[in-house]
Amino acid sequence: MKVTETGFPGLKIIEPVVYKDKRGYFFESFNLEKIRNAGIDVNFIQDNQSSSRYGVIRGLHYQKDPYSQTKLVRVLYGIIYDIAVDLRLNSPTFGKWFGLEISDVNNLQLLIPKGFAHGFSVLSASAVVYYKCDELYKPESEAGIIYSDPILQIDWKIPPGKEIISKKDQGLKYFNEADNNFIFNDI
């Protein structure tokens, strides 16, 4: 397993070792011991999976403290553009976003720490996204930022007019209005 720093404190790209031969491939998608040996102290307790078609943008979602979530995102099928926005006050990357193309071919995973909003767009005909969380879903803690926020200016890599957004996500707040209680603690 290779862990790459992103320049955002705590936000990491995880690349598993993939063994390929004429039969196909094999890799460990998660190994707690290896994660901990890489200096990542997390205890995942919930797995989520979604299926979406081209043009779908999900997010930007997060849960406020004390139920904030660390997520480990990967793609089982297709290609997504995964986005993480740093919401931690006093963070050197506060208000900035990071994007990574994740697919069933590159097998990359994105470790998104507590204090980030998360979303993704689907770049292939369809995609199945799977992610682990270290905190259970709590509806009373749910919050979000609208995907089209003019301050963030996220390029979702979907042409204008081709976006598919849920009514719920269309009603999310702007970055400067977001209900956010995250404080950066040097990791």
* Burial class of 95 by CB neighbour count within 10 A (0 to 12, 13 to 18, 19+): middle
In angstroms, the CA 175 to CA 186 distance is: 23
pLDDT value for 34: 94
Query: Of the candidates 110, 78, 79, which has an alpha carbon nearest to the alpha carbon of residue 97?
Result: 110
| Catalytic sites, residue numbers | 61, 131
Q: Which domains does the chain have, with CATH numbers?
A: 41-177 (2.60.120.10)
Mean pLDDT along residues 10-18: 96
Q: How large a percentage of the chain has pLDDT more than 90?
A: 96
Model confidence, pTM: 0.95
187 confidence band (pLDDT: 50, 70, 90): low
Helix (H) or strand (E) holding 100: strand 97-103
pLDDT value at residue 179:
87
Burial 45-55 (b: 16+ CB within 10 A, else e): eeeeeeebebb
Nearest 5°: phi and psi at 92?
Answer: -65, -15
Q: Which residue has the tokens 């767009």?
A: 121
The neighbour count for residue 34, using CB atoms within 10 Å, is 15
Question: For 108-164, how does the pLDDT look when each residue is reduced to its tens digit (9 = 90+)?
Answer: 999 999 999 999 999 999 999 999 999 999 999 999 999 999 999 999 999 999 999
Q: Give the count of beta carbons closer than 10 Å to the beta carbon of residue 31.
A: 12
> Would the pLDDT of 186 be above 80?
no
Tens digits of residue pLDDT in 17-38: 999 999 999 999 999 999 999 9
Tell me the per-residue pLDDT of 74-103, one tens digit each, with 9 for 90 and over. Answer: 999 999 999 999 999 999 999 999 999 999
Q: How far is CA 112 from CA 22, 61, 86, 117, 176, in A?
A: 34, 12, 10, 9, 21
* Mean pLDDT estimate for the chain: 96
